[in-house]
Structure 1
Amino acid sequence: MQRKKATIVTVITSLVGIAIGLTIWGMIFLGYGNASTGASSQPQLAVDSEKVPETTAPIQDSKPTEPDNSSLDSGESTSQSDLSSSSEQPPAANSDKSSSPTQPPQAVQLTGPAADVVWSVSTTANAVFITVDDGWYPTDSVLAIMRAQHVPISAFLIENAAKEHPDFWREFMAAGGDIENHTLSHPDLTKVSTQEVISQIETTQKYLSSFSPPTLFRPPYGNYNQTVSQAVYQAGIKHVIMWNATMSNNELQTYNGKPLEPGSIILLHWEPDLSSELEKLLGILRQNHLGVASLPYALSHPNNFPVIWPLPEAAD
């Protein structure tokens, strides 16, 4: 009986020893595996950490070149300069990028009243209005007609043209004419920026005021919009003057094809043959028993303006 017990103890001891041995070998094996795995993952972490500056640096460099429209709208003038100063770095080789961004010009918007647009003058007087555009070919023969027959003429002048013959325009005013605004260089004002519209009108207004401040404005090509009308009013002019009849090639044409009516505004141009065009027009007016009045005066004094041509004693 004692021998059986000893045998059982011996078997149990052997099993325990084997279990302990297996446990030790398992721990050694697992430890080796973990050590091997940790050694292989560490370089990967190092590679990932090196990618961070490579991906973020270009994003940081590109921000100052993008205009901050919100700061422009709110009037904050410091936000863009702060971006520029904080991002200044030596230029990279073969780089075309400038070190400081350029602010786009702030858009100009006009608000407020606009000048009224006049195609003809409502009047009971038997009179029309003569307007002559541009000013590149001023001729003494026109002055002679004005002096002899007292014909009032409104000259809508391009500033660049008026500057060529300032003495002539002083004589023109002395002969009974008036000088009005037709822009600096005759662009289509509906196709340029608002700032350019303002400059074209106000620059010319300032120059022509050296003769007499214009009270009327005619848009080049007859093209205008709300912005143009607002810019005209802002310049101190209340009327945008159009026309409903033209005199060209010694022929008078009305917009509706009907005979000329009282209050009509007639368009001619300062061309070499203007004096012959003017004589022809005056002949047509005589046949239709129409006189000529001063346009700016008539607009300032509706139905209370004189008919200047022809003189009363010369009327038919």
Structure 2
Amino acid sequence: MSRLRLFAAFVLVAGLVSCGQPAGEQPGGPVLTTSSPVPTTTSEKPKRMFEPPYTYGTVQAHAPATVDGMVPVVTRIPTDKPYVFITIDDGAVQHPKARELMINAGVWPSLFLNTKYAEGHKDYFKELPATIHSHTSTHPNMQGKPFEFQKHEICGNADFLAADYGRRPTLFRPPFGNYDENTRKAAASCGFKALVNWTAAVNDGRVQFQQGDKLKPGDIVLMHFRTTFVEDFTAFLNRAKQDGLTPVPLEDFLG
């Protein structure tokens, strides 16, 4: 009988020890799991610096009429809306950050390219969220040059851009902003709607104004493809934001 009592006591103690283990825990080692972590996803797109106030690529206003065989000269856009226009010239430096900056900002610039700089770089300029326009073949000072010389420079550049990018440009900018009646007549004969100059410029990371000390609605801003592209483009974006303006495509207002 004493042996039976001893055996029962032993069984009871073993049971109590067993019940003291946490559920599922194996003595002598950590608990292992084979379940995979649940990935978290979001459908939210990163916020751009500027949101389009309308559908880009739709005509908002028309260019002034061509009169006496000469294209109109446009230096700013008459508008009561808080819009500003960024234009980038030449194409001499194909900066690797340009596309990323334009996309992140939500800005669609107008590019005025020379044949001598754009030639051989079709893929680079095609990937930019921008519209391409004409700036002559070799970037000469057009003022005072014969009509045929100017027509060759302007039409030749337009032909090159149409062949490379599948769309003939509609706007023309003379190098250095210099032009005469022959320039306007040559541009008209090449099929352009307007000769475009500017009211403000960006150089070395600073916005420079022809009048006043801030950007105004309708201002056309000049920039260049230079090694300082990041500094210049960022300076323009910050200035536009500071002055309460949204950059929109120039060609939408010169349709």
Query: Secondary structure at the residue paired with 1:148?
Result: helix
* Pairs within 5 Å for 1:297-316: 297-300=252-255
CA RMSD after TM alignment: 1.3
Alignment-derived partner of residue 221 in structure 1: 176
Alignment-derived partner of residue 181 in structure 1: 134
Instruction: Say which one has the larger Rg.
Output: 1
Shift of 1:160: 1.1
Distance 2:80 2:68 in 1: 33
Instruction: Verify: 1:260 aligned to 2:212, yes or no.
Output: no
Instruction: Verify: 1:137 aligned to 2:90, yes or no.
Output: no
Distance 1:164 1:244 in 2: 31
**Aligned residue among 120, 133, 144 for 1:164:** 120
Shift of 1:193: 2.0
Shift of 1:192: 2.4
Alignment-derived partner of residue 6 in structure 2: none
**Aligned residue among 199, 202, 214 for 2:152:** 199
Alignment-derived partner of residue 113 in structure 1: 69
Distance 1:147 1:254 in 2: 26
Alignment-derived partner of residue 123 in structure 1: 79
Could you tell me the percent identity over the aligned residues?
A: 29
- AA aligned to 2:75 is W
Structure with the larger RCO, 1 or 2 (CA within 8 Å, 6+ apart): 2
Note if contact 2:216-2:243 (Cα within 8 Å) is conserved in structure 1: no
Note if contact 2:204-2:231 (Cα within 8 Å) is conserved in structure 1: no
* Pairs within 5 Å for 1:279-298: 279-298=234-253
Distance 2:221 2:100 in 1: 20
Query: Secondary structure at the residue paired with 1:266?
Result: strand
- AA aligned to 1:164 is G
Distance 2:212 2:82 in 1: 19
Distance 1:143 1:213 in 2: 22
Shift of 1:287: 1.2
Note if contact 2:205-2:234 (Cα within 8 Å) is conserved in structure 1: no
Shift of 1:275: 1.7
Deviations 1:198-223 (A, max 9, x none): 10001111010121211100001111
Shift of 1:178: 0.6
Deviations 1:194-252 (A, max 9, x none): 21101000111101012121110000111101110011011110100000101111111
Deviations 1:157-184 (A, max 9, x none): 0011110311101112xx2x01000000
Shift of 1:148: 2.0
Distance 1:296 1:198 in 2: 22
After TM superposition, which residue ranges in structure 1, 4 or more long, deviate above 4 angstroms?
none
Gaps of 5+ in 2: 1-66
Distance 2:247 2:204 in 1: 21
Shift of 1:112: 4.6
Query: Secondary structure at the residue paired with 2:81?
Result: coil
Query: Secondary structure at the residue paired with 2:94?
Result: coil
Structure with the higher helix share, 1 or 2: 1
Distance 2:90 2:99 in 1: 16
